[in-house]
Structure 1
Amino acid sequence: MYQAVSDAAIALFLEKGFEKVPVAEVAAAAEISKPTLFRYFPAKEDLVLHRFADHVDEAARVVTGRPAKRSPLDALQRHFLDGLERQDPVTGLCDNVHVLAFHRLLYGTPSLVARLYAYQERSEQALGEALGKALGGKSGDAASDDAEALAARLAAGQIIAVQRILAMENWRRIDAGESAEAVWPDAVVAANRAFGQLRSGLAAYA
Protein backbone atom coordinates (compact mmCIF):
# COMPACT_ATOMS: atom_id res chain seq x y z
CA MET A 1 0.00 0.00 0.00
CA TYR A 2 2.79 2.45 0.92
CA GLN A 3 4.57 1.84 -2.37
CA ALA A 4 1.44 1.99 -4.51
CA VAL A 5 0.22 5.26 -3.01
CA SER A 6 3.70 6.82 -3.14
CA ASP A 7 4.15 5.81 -6.78
CA ALA A 8 0.76 7.27 -7.71
CA ALA A 9 1.59 10.51 -5.93
CA ILE A 10 5.03 10.88 -7.48
CA ALA A 11 3.61 10.30 -10.97
CA LEU A 12 1.15 13.16 -10.41
CA PHE A 13 3.79 15.42 -8.89
CA LEU A 14 6.15 14.84 -11.82
CA GLU A 15 3.37 15.58 -14.29
CA LYS A 16 1.88 18.69 -12.65
CA GLY A 17 4.28 19.86 -9.94
CA PHE A 18 4.24 19.14 -6.23
CA GLU A 19 2.45 22.32 -5.19
CA LYS A 20 -0.26 21.96 -7.84
CA VAL A 21 -1.50 18.52 -6.81
CA PRO A 22 -3.83 18.43 -3.79
CA VAL A 23 -3.77 15.42 -1.48
CA ALA A 24 -7.37 14.64 -2.44
CA GLU A 25 -6.26 14.10 -6.05
CA VAL A 26 -3.55 11.70 -4.89
CA ALA A 27 -6.07 9.77 -2.81
CA ALA A 28 -8.43 9.52 -5.78
CA ALA A 29 -5.62 8.29 -8.05
CA ALA A 30 -4.68 5.65 -5.46
CA GLU A 31 -8.35 4.73 -4.99
CA ILE A 32 -8.37 5.35 -1.24
CA SER A 33 -9.95 8.01 0.95
CA LYS A 34 -8.07 11.09 2.08
CA PRO A 35 -8.24 10.04 5.79
CA THR A 36 -6.81 6.63 4.83
CA LEU A 37 -3.97 8.31 2.94
CA PHE A 38 -3.05 10.37 6.00
CA ARG A 39 -2.96 7.21 8.12
CA TYR A 40 -0.11 6.00 5.91
CA PHE A 41 1.56 9.35 5.23
CA PRO A 42 1.37 12.01 7.97
CA ALA A 43 2.41 14.81 5.59
CA LYS A 44 2.11 15.39 1.86
CA GLU A 45 5.92 15.51 1.61
CA ASP A 46 6.15 11.97 2.97
CA LEU A 47 4.46 10.72 -0.22
CA VAL A 48 7.69 11.61 -2.02
CA LEU A 49 10.19 10.89 0.74
CA HIS A 50 8.83 7.40 1.31
CA ARG A 51 11.55 6.34 -1.12
CA PHE A 52 14.09 7.33 1.53
CA ALA A 53 12.38 5.43 4.34
CA ASP A 54 14.52 2.31 3.88
CA HIS A 55 17.68 4.43 4.00
CA VAL A 56 16.99 6.20 7.31
CA ASP A 57 18.89 3.61 9.35
CA GLU A 58 21.15 2.41 6.53
CA ALA A 59 24.36 3.87 7.99
CA ALA A 60 23.50 2.41 11.39
CA ARG A 61 22.95 -1.02 9.81
CA VAL A 62 26.32 -0.79 8.07
CA VAL A 63 28.06 -0.11 11.38
CA THR A 64 26.14 -2.79 13.26
CA GLY A 65 26.65 -5.45 10.59
CA ARG A 66 30.29 -4.73 9.75
CA PRO A 67 32.97 -7.47 10.02
CA ALA A 68 34.53 -7.72 13.47
CA LYS A 69 37.94 -6.36 12.42
CA ARG A 70 36.60 -3.47 10.33
CA SER A 71 36.21 -0.05 11.95
CA PRO A 72 32.87 1.78 11.67
CA LEU A 73 34.38 4.49 9.46
CA ASP A 74 36.05 1.95 7.17
CA ALA A 75 32.75 0.10 6.82
CA LEU A 76 30.85 3.29 5.97
CA GLN A 77 33.48 4.35 3.44
CA ARG A 78 33.41 0.94 1.76
CA HIS A 79 29.62 1.02 1.65
CA PHE A 80 29.58 4.47 0.03
CA LEU A 81 32.19 3.46 -2.56
CA ASP A 82 30.19 0.32 -3.36
CA GLY A 83 27.14 2.54 -3.83
CA LEU A 84 29.05 4.70 -6.30
CA GLU A 85 30.11 1.64 -8.25
CA ARG A 86 26.54 0.36 -8.63
CA GLN A 87 25.22 3.91 -9.24
CA ASP A 88 22.94 3.85 -6.22
CA PRO A 89 20.64 6.92 -6.47
CA VAL A 90 21.34 7.71 -2.80
CA THR A 91 24.95 8.56 -3.73
CA GLY A 92 23.74 11.09 -6.32
CA LEU A 93 25.66 9.20 -9.00
CA CYS A 94 22.80 7.96 -11.16
CA ASP A 95 21.82 9.24 -14.58
CA ASN A 96 18.73 7.08 -15.03
CA VAL A 97 16.06 9.37 -16.51
CA HIS A 98 13.48 8.42 -13.88
CA VAL A 99 15.92 9.05 -11.04
CA LEU A 100 16.88 12.39 -12.58
CA ALA A 101 13.23 13.41 -12.77
CA PHE A 102 12.67 12.38 -9.15
CA HIS A 103 15.73 14.30 -7.94
CA ARG A 104 14.65 17.42 -9.83
CA LEU A 105 11.26 17.17 -8.15
CA LEU A 106 12.87 16.67 -4.74
CA TYR A 107 15.58 19.32 -4.84
CA GLY A 108 13.40 21.78 -6.73
CA THR A 109 10.69 21.82 -4.05
CA PRO A 110 11.66 23.72 -0.87
CA SER A 111 9.14 21.92 1.36
CA LEU A 112 10.52 18.55 0.26
CA VAL A 113 14.09 19.62 0.96
CA ALA A 114 13.03 20.81 4.42
CA ARG A 115 11.27 17.51 5.10
CA LEU A 116 14.34 15.61 3.90
CA TYR A 117 16.34 17.13 6.73
CA ALA A 118 13.98 15.45 9.21
CA TYR A 119 14.84 12.11 7.64
CA GLN A 120 18.54 12.94 7.87
CA GLU A 121 18.17 13.81 11.56
CA ARG A 122 16.72 10.35 12.14
CA SER A 123 19.67 8.88 10.25
CA GLU A 124 22.05 10.79 12.52
CA GLN A 125 20.27 9.57 15.64
CA ALA A 126 20.32 5.92 14.52
CA LEU A 127 23.97 6.14 13.48
CA GLY A 128 24.93 7.87 16.73
CA GLU A 129 23.39 5.03 18.72
CA ALA A 130 25.18 2.44 16.57
CA LEU A 131 28.51 4.23 16.97
CA GLY A 132 28.01 4.42 20.72
CA LYS A 133 27.46 0.66 20.88
CA ALA A 134 30.47 0.08 18.63
CA LEU A 135 32.65 1.81 21.24
CA GLY A 136 31.54 -0.53 23.98
CA GLY A 137 28.27 0.85 25.31
CA LYS A 138 27.68 2.39 28.71
CA SER A 139 30.34 2.42 31.42
CA GLY A 140 28.02 3.02 34.35
CA ASP A 141 29.35 6.52 35.02
CA ALA A 142 26.60 8.97 34.02
CA ALA A 143 28.91 11.88 33.15
CA SER A 144 31.20 9.68 31.09
CA ASP A 145 28.29 8.01 29.33
CA ASP A 146 26.74 11.38 28.47
CA ALA A 147 30.04 12.63 27.07
CA GLU A 148 30.49 9.51 24.96
CA ALA A 149 26.91 9.68 23.70
CA LEU A 150 27.46 13.30 22.65
CA ALA A 151 30.73 12.37 20.93
CA ALA A 152 28.94 9.60 19.02
CA ARG A 153 26.16 12.00 17.96
CA LEU A 154 28.71 14.57 16.80
CA ALA A 155 30.53 11.91 14.78
CA ALA A 156 27.26 10.72 13.28
CA GLY A 157 26.34 14.26 12.28
CA GLN A 158 29.66 14.72 10.51
CA ILE A 159 29.41 11.39 8.69
CA ILE A 160 25.85 11.97 7.49
CA ALA A 161 26.79 15.49 6.39
CA VAL A 162 29.74 14.16 4.39
CA GLN A 163 27.56 11.63 2.62
CA ARG A 164 24.92 14.28 1.88
CA ILE A 165 27.46 16.75 0.46
CA LEU A 166 29.13 14.08 -1.68
CA ALA A 167 25.75 13.00 -3.06
CA MET A 168 24.72 16.58 -3.78
CA GLU A 169 27.96 17.28 -5.66
CA ASN A 170 27.47 14.14 -7.78
CA TRP A 171 23.86 15.10 -8.44
CA ARG A 172 24.86 18.67 -9.37
CA ARG A 173 27.22 17.45 -12.08
CA ILE A 174 24.79 14.88 -13.45
CA ASP A 175 21.98 17.43 -13.48
CA ALA A 176 24.31 19.70 -15.50
CA GLY A 177 24.51 17.02 -18.19
CA GLU A 178 27.48 14.81 -17.30
CA SER A 179 27.07 11.03 -17.36
CA ALA A 180 27.42 8.88 -14.26
CA GLU A 181 30.31 7.07 -15.94
CA ALA A 182 32.16 10.34 -16.52
CA VAL A 183 31.62 11.59 -12.96
CA TRP A 184 32.45 8.28 -11.24
CA PRO A 185 36.29 8.62 -11.08
CA ASP A 186 36.06 12.08 -9.49
CA ALA A 187 33.30 10.88 -7.16
CA VAL A 188 35.53 8.08 -5.87
CA VAL A 189 38.44 10.49 -5.31
CA ALA A 190 36.16 12.94 -3.50
CA ALA A 191 34.68 10.21 -1.30
CA ASN A 192 38.11 8.91 -0.30
CA ARG A 193 39.29 12.44 0.44
CA ALA A 194 36.17 13.20 2.48
CA PHE A 195 36.47 10.07 4.62
CA GLY A 196 40.16 10.81 5.05
CA GLN A 197 39.21 14.23 6.38
CA LEU A 198 36.81 12.57 8.81
CA ARG A 199 39.70 10.49 10.10
CA SER A 200 42.08 13.42 10.50
CA GLY A 201 39.54 15.88 11.90
CA LEU A 202 39.69 19.59 11.19
CA ALA A 203 43.41 20.11 11.85
CA ALA A 204 43.84 21.95 8.55
CA TYR A 205 41.33 24.58 9.68
CA ALA A 206 42.60 24.96 13.21
Structure 2
Amino acid sequence: MEKSFDWHKAVEERWDSNVSFWNEKSRKMWEKGSRSTIVPFVEKHMEAKGKIADIGCGDGYGSCKLNEAGFRVVGVDISPKMINKANEVQGDGLSFTVGDLAELPFEDNSLDGVVAINSIEWTEDPKQALQEIMRVIKPGGKLCLGLLGPTAGPRQNSYRRLYGEEVICNTMMPWEFENLSREMGWQVVDGHGVYKEEAKDFPVEQLPTPLKQALTFMWVFMLRK
Protein backbone atom coordinates (compact mmCIF):
# COMPACT_ATOMS: atom_id res chain seq x y z
CA MET A 1 0.00 0.00 0.00
CA GLU A 2 1.30 3.45 -0.89
CA LYS A 3 2.26 5.49 2.16
CA SER A 4 0.01 8.51 2.72
CA PHE A 5 1.50 11.99 2.54
CA ASP A 6 2.97 13.13 5.88
CA TRP A 7 2.40 16.90 5.97
CA HIS A 8 4.27 17.45 9.24
CA LYS A 9 7.32 15.50 8.15
CA ALA A 10 7.39 17.34 4.83
CA VAL A 11 7.29 20.71 6.64
CA GLU A 12 10.08 19.63 8.98
CA GLU A 13 12.27 18.57 6.05
CA ARG A 14 11.48 21.78 4.14
CA TRP A 15 12.58 24.03 6.99
CA ASP A 16 15.55 21.85 7.90
CA SER A 17 16.80 22.56 4.39
CA ASN A 18 16.11 26.31 4.69
CA VAL A 19 18.27 27.15 7.72
CA SER A 20 21.05 29.02 5.90
CA PHE A 21 18.64 30.84 3.58
CA TRP A 22 16.36 31.88 6.45
CA ASN A 23 19.22 32.97 8.70
CA GLU A 24 20.44 35.33 5.99
CA LYS A 25 16.98 36.95 5.68
CA SER A 26 15.82 36.91 9.28
CA ARG A 27 17.78 39.82 10.73
CA LYS A 28 16.75 42.17 7.88
CA MET A 29 13.10 41.15 8.19
CA TRP A 30 12.94 41.80 11.93
CA GLU A 31 15.04 44.98 11.93
CA LYS A 32 13.76 46.93 8.94
CA GLY A 33 11.67 44.60 6.81
CA SER A 34 8.27 42.91 6.90
CA ARG A 35 8.54 41.93 10.59
CA SER A 36 9.85 45.23 11.97
CA THR A 37 6.40 46.21 13.32
CA ILE A 38 5.89 42.99 15.29
CA VAL A 39 7.82 43.70 18.51
CA PRO A 40 6.34 47.21 18.99
CA PHE A 41 2.86 45.76 18.32
CA VAL A 42 3.42 43.04 20.93
CA GLU A 43 4.76 45.60 23.42
CA LYS A 44 1.61 47.68 22.89
CA HIS A 45 -0.75 44.83 23.72
CA MET A 46 1.11 42.38 25.98
CA GLU A 47 2.58 43.07 29.41
CA ALA A 48 6.38 42.88 29.50
CA LYS A 49 7.87 40.15 31.74
CA GLY A 50 5.06 37.83 30.74
CA LYS A 51 5.83 34.32 29.50
CA ILE A 52 5.19 33.98 25.79
CA ALA A 53 5.90 31.39 23.11
CA ASP A 54 7.24 32.33 19.68
CA ILE A 55 5.72 29.61 17.51
CA GLY A 56 7.59 28.98 14.28
CA CYS A 57 10.60 30.85 15.65
CA GLY A 58 12.99 29.74 12.92
CA ASP A 59 16.54 30.82 13.73
CA GLY A 60 15.38 32.59 16.88
CA TYR A 61 16.15 36.18 15.88
CA GLY A 62 12.59 37.36 16.53
CA SER A 63 12.50 35.49 19.84
CA CYS A 64 15.67 37.32 20.85
CA LYS A 65 14.09 40.68 19.94
CA LEU A 66 11.04 39.87 22.06
CA ASN A 67 13.29 38.81 24.93
CA GLU A 68 15.21 42.07 24.70
CA ALA A 69 11.86 43.87 24.98
CA GLY A 70 11.38 42.27 28.41
CA PHE A 71 9.43 39.08 27.72
CA ARG A 72 10.31 35.59 28.90
CA VAL A 73 10.30 33.72 25.61
CA VAL A 74 10.23 30.09 24.56
CA GLY A 75 10.92 29.73 20.85
CA VAL A 76 9.30 26.70 19.21
CA ASP A 77 9.93 25.33 15.74
CA ILE A 78 9.15 22.06 13.95
CA SER A 79 12.65 22.00 12.44
CA PRO A 80 15.38 20.52 14.69
CA LYS A 81 18.04 22.22 12.57
CA MET A 82 16.35 25.60 13.02
CA ILE A 83 16.32 25.04 16.78
CA ASN A 84 20.00 24.10 16.70
CA LYS A 85 20.66 27.44 15.02
CA ALA A 86 18.40 29.29 17.44
CA ASN A 87 20.24 27.81 20.43
CA GLU A 88 23.26 29.86 19.40
CA VAL A 89 21.29 32.89 20.65
CA GLN A 90 21.67 33.61 24.38
CA GLY A 91 19.54 35.62 26.78
CA ASP A 92 18.07 35.52 30.29
CA GLY A 93 14.56 34.16 30.08
CA LEU A 94 15.12 32.90 26.53
CA SER A 95 14.99 29.24 25.50
CA PHE A 96 14.18 27.12 22.46
CA THR A 97 12.59 23.74 21.87
CA VAL A 98 11.47 21.57 18.97
CA GLY A 99 7.69 21.45 18.74
CA ASP A 100 4.76 21.16 16.37
CA LEU A 101 1.99 23.75 16.22
CA ALA A 102 -0.45 20.87 15.99
CA GLU A 103 0.68 19.62 19.42
CA LEU A 104 2.42 22.31 21.45
CA PRO A 105 4.76 21.30 24.31
CA PHE A 106 2.98 23.40 26.96
CA GLU A 107 0.44 22.79 29.72
CA ASP A 108 -3.10 24.13 29.49
CA ASN A 109 -3.44 27.84 30.36
CA SER A 110 0.31 28.18 30.97
CA LEU A 111 1.29 31.13 28.73
CA ASP A 112 0.54 34.83 28.94
CA GLY A 113 0.70 35.08 25.18
CA VAL A 114 1.78 33.56 21.88
CA VAL A 115 3.44 35.10 18.84
CA ALA A 116 2.99 33.15 15.60
CA ILE A 117 4.28 34.92 12.50
CA ASN A 118 3.67 33.19 9.16
CA SER A 119 3.48 29.81 10.84
CA ILE A 120 -0.19 28.80 10.83
CA GLU A 121 -0.02 28.63 7.03
CA TRP A 122 2.38 25.70 7.39
CA THR A 123 -0.14 23.56 9.30
CA GLU A 124 -2.37 20.96 7.70
CA ASP A 125 -5.37 21.98 9.83
CA PRO A 126 -5.30 25.70 10.77
CA LYS A 127 -8.47 25.38 12.86
CA GLN A 128 -6.92 22.65 14.99
CA ALA A 129 -3.71 24.69 15.31
CA LEU A 130 -5.69 27.71 16.50
CA GLN A 131 -7.46 25.51 19.03
CA GLU A 132 -4.07 24.29 20.26
CA ILE A 133 -2.86 27.87 20.72
CA MET A 134 -6.04 28.69 22.65
CA ARG A 135 -5.42 25.67 24.89
CA VAL A 136 -2.02 26.88 26.10
CA ILE A 137 -2.87 30.60 26.59
CA LYS A 138 -4.26 31.77 29.92
CA PRO A 139 -7.77 33.26 29.97
CA GLY A 140 -7.41 36.87 28.86
CA GLY A 141 -4.05 36.14 27.25
CA LYS A 142 -3.29 37.29 23.72
CA LEU A 143 -2.14 35.94 20.39
CA CYS A 144 -0.19 38.03 17.89
CA LEU A 145 -0.53 36.23 14.57
CA GLY A 146 0.93 37.29 11.24
CA LEU A 147 -0.82 35.86 8.18
CA LEU A 148 0.54 36.05 4.64
CA GLY A 149 -1.53 38.49 2.61
CA PRO A 150 -2.70 38.17 -1.00
CA THR A 151 0.43 39.86 -2.41
CA ALA A 152 2.95 37.68 -0.56
CA GLY A 153 5.29 35.69 -2.79
CA PRO A 154 5.43 32.69 -0.39
CA ARG A 155 1.76 32.02 -1.12
CA GLN A 156 3.03 30.43 -4.35
CA ASN A 157 3.95 27.42 -2.21
CA SER A 158 0.29 26.38 -2.34
CA TYR A 159 -0.27 26.95 -6.06
CA ARG A 160 0.50 23.41 -7.23
CA ARG A 161 -2.57 22.12 -5.38
CA LEU A 162 -4.48 23.17 -8.51
CA TYR A 163 -2.69 20.32 -10.29
CA GLY A 164 -3.71 17.88 -7.57
CA GLU A 165 -0.22 17.85 -6.08
CA GLU A 166 0.50 17.69 -2.36
CA VAL A 167 1.48 21.09 -0.96
CA ILE A 168 2.58 22.19 2.50
CA CYS A 169 1.40 25.79 2.60
CA ASN A 170 -2.22 26.31 3.63
CA THR A 171 -2.79 29.89 2.51
CA MET A 172 -5.85 31.83 3.63
CA MET A 173 -7.22 35.30 3.04
CA PRO A 174 -6.99 37.57 6.12
CA TRP A 175 -10.78 37.89 6.22
CA GLU A 176 -11.10 34.09 6.24
CA PHE A 177 -8.78 33.78 9.22
CA GLU A 178 -10.56 36.61 11.02
CA ASN A 179 -13.93 34.90 10.56
CA LEU A 180 -12.46 31.59 11.75
CA SER A 181 -10.94 33.13 14.86
CA ARG A 182 -14.17 34.93 15.82
CA GLU A 183 -16.23 31.77 15.32
CA MET A 184 -13.82 29.91 17.61
CA GLY A 185 -14.28 32.42 20.40
CA TRP A 186 -11.29 34.72 19.97
CA GLN A 187 -11.78 38.47 20.36
CA VAL A 188 -10.12 40.55 17.65
CA VAL A 189 -8.38 43.37 19.51
CA ASP A 190 -6.32 45.05 16.80
CA GLY A 191 -4.64 44.54 13.45
CA HIS A 192 -2.42 46.22 10.91
CA GLY A 193 -1.09 45.61 7.43
CA VAL A 194 2.43 45.18 6.10
CA TYR A 195 2.78 46.24 2.47
CA LYS A 196 5.25 45.86 -0.37
CA GLU A 197 7.33 48.85 -1.40
CA GLU A 198 5.10 49.42 -4.43
CA ALA A 199 2.15 50.19 -2.13
CA LYS A 200 4.02 52.49 0.26
CA ASP A 201 2.85 55.69 -1.48
CA PHE A 202 -0.72 54.49 -1.91
CA PRO A 203 -3.26 56.03 0.56
CA VAL A 204 -3.93 52.63 2.17
CA GLU A 205 -5.17 54.04 5.48
CA GLN A 206 -8.10 55.68 3.72
CA LEU A 207 -9.44 52.29 2.61
CA PRO A 208 -11.89 50.05 4.50
CA THR A 209 -10.27 47.10 6.23
CA PRO A 210 -11.16 44.45 3.60
CA LEU A 211 -9.41 46.51 0.91
CA LYS A 212 -6.42 47.17 3.17
CA GLN A 213 -6.12 43.43 3.72
CA ALA A 214 -6.41 42.76 -0.01
CA LEU A 215 -3.22 44.74 -0.65
CA THR A 216 -1.13 43.26 2.14
CA PHE A 217 2.03 41.23 2.11
CA MET A 218 1.06 40.32 5.67
CA TRP A 219 -1.80 41.16 8.01
CA VAL A 220 -0.93 41.12 11.71
CA PHE A 221 -3.74 40.26 14.14
CA MET A 222 -3.93 40.75 17.88
CA LEU A 223 -6.45 38.36 19.42
CA ARG A 224 -7.57 37.85 23.01
CA LYS A 225 -8.63 34.50 24.44
- TM class by shorter chain equals under 0.3
Give TM-score, length-normalised by structure 1. Answer: 0.26
Larger RCO, structures 1/2 (Cα 8 Å, 6+ apart): 1
Which structure has greater helix proportion? 1
Give TM-score, length-normalised by structure 2. Answer: 0.25
Which structure has greater strand proportion? 2
The structure number with the bigger radius of gyration is 1
